[in-house]
Structure 1
């Protein structure tokens, strides 16, 4: 079922989005050669406890195990859902940091007292959460990016905003996917199809699904009050991916080993157009 959000719900998500955006802004300076990737996870956990924010990814159902971390940290050919781990970032790496946060504002929970490593307990809090949710992924070049990395990042970021521009009252879901697919493929890149955007609220993954490929004029009609994510995953080679079932059961990689990039914003559709709820304040906003 698709729910249209009230002004109050949108304002809650906007406040949660401000916390998440501040994290991404901080990561711009934090991520550099020599950093242990695990420090990203530690930083996000610290902010969650300070801001009374639930890391809602902890406890998400998986085929082999529930997701145990506050962030997904996907490196180079890793498309999505990779675990943060002890890895020293190297000059030229491309890392994507994705997270979903829930801002607790009603005094019902003191997040600072939670044990984030207790996944079953965190899952209960995640499933019971009712409040403002924010979901955003951002890509970071480590040190000096190669031309291959820089061009991939530029095209992926443009795909994000081209998709958002199509999220207008009266347009259809296919208009979003078609804009992204046409731009990426015209520049020789692959558009991952197995993972898509989605509605947000009252839980982190709601209807409708928002593919990053498709045909203009097709699909669900967009309405005022929808809160969606657009999160194109663009690869240097094939759009096909594979899941690491011999490892953690979560990490998704490009099938051909090519690089993959992702940017994601959450936004609300208004009568005047899309309004980004996870804006970092300096990129294109609407």
Structure 2
């Protein structure tokens, strides 16, 4: 393992492959949770499903115990942007829930998030979730070896600004990831291209746009975790962990490595062979 300037961790091929194993656990867990989301289920029940699947897959939840966090997932509903604590809250028809999940395999992390509608959901909320996810993929599509970190940021922002008037949350950003869940460098979801650290092989990043239906201003509740919009507007959050190879981006937490979504944008994936 080599550490470059700014404390950025550069992984070996073997370490990236271990991150892929962690990423697959996360991806499969999120698909289980997507299928389980329905009116009447509690966020605590979703958390139990996640923890059971992560542990039965030979992995460890990244979130549980992290700075005292009590869940294996973050479950953020409606005006909650991120870091919602799973518990007794029961989902209702029309809710929008963002689920963030992390797993560790042999000391290496994967981290991803999805936003899911509960039952019959207003079209404006589904559109918010759709644009949020799309903006993440546009960020990946902007990444090239030899490029700069904020190429990703600009790709995310360009798609959001070109398709909507949504608020882009600036207080919470993506991050480096590897032997720890949160590492340098930060990955903002806005900004000019061509700035920041160079994108090189062995760098792994979690890209995670957070959008709001209203303004992006937010505050943290008294539980010291849950972040909500100041104006009460709904929020969406999408995340994947990815790396770059000479062949293209490889999305470590997507079950297909990102192949389908990137192909829609004319980008080839760069999966490493086991």
Are 1:202 and 2:179 an aligned pair? yes
Q: Distance in 1 between matches of 2:89 and 2:188?
A: 32
Cα deviations by residue, 1:130-174 (Å, 9 ceiling, x for unpaired): x22110111111112211111101110110100111121122122
Q: Distance in 2 between matches of 1:70 and 1:95?
A: 15
Q: Distance in 2 between matches of 1:41 and 1:173?
A: 33
Structure 1 partner of 2:146: 170
State the Cα distance separating 1:48 from its structure 2 match.
2.7
State the Cα distance separating 1:280 from its structure 2 match.
3.2
Q: Distance in 1 between matches of 2:28 and 2:216?
A: 31
State the Cα distance separating 1:195 from its structure 2 match.
0.6
Structure 2 partner of 1:276: 251
Structure 1 residue ranges without an equivalent (≥5) = 105-130
Q: Distance in 1 between matches of 2:62 and 2:130?
A: 29
Q: 1:103 aligns with which of 86, 102, 105?
A: 105
Q: Distance in 2 between matches of 1:48 and 1:25?
A: 12
Structure 2 partner of 1:118: none
Are 1:144 and 2:120 an aligned pair? yes
Structure 1 partner of 2:41: 35
Are 1:20 and 2:26 an aligned pair? yes
Distance 1:280 1:142, change over 3 A: farther
State the Cα distance separating 1:185 from its structure 2 match.
2.6
Q: Distance in 2 between matches of 1:173 and 1:181?
A: 13
Aligned residues: 254
Kept in 1, the 8 Å contact 2:55–2:61? The answer is: no
Please report the RMSD computed on the Cα atoms of aligned residues, expressed in angstroms.
1.4
State the Cα distance separating 1:192 from its structure 2 match.
0.4
Are 1:230 and 2:207 an aligned pair? yes
Structure 1 partner of 2:3: none
Structure 2 partner of 1:264: 239
Q: 1:191 aligns with which of 148, 160, 168?
A: 168
Kept in 1, the 8 Å contact 2:80–2:228? The answer is: yes
Q: Distance in 2 between matches of 1:71 and 1:153?
A: 19
TM-score by length of 1: 0.85
Structure 2 residue ranges without an equivalent (≥5) = 1-6, 263-268, 270-274
TM-score by length of 2: 0.89
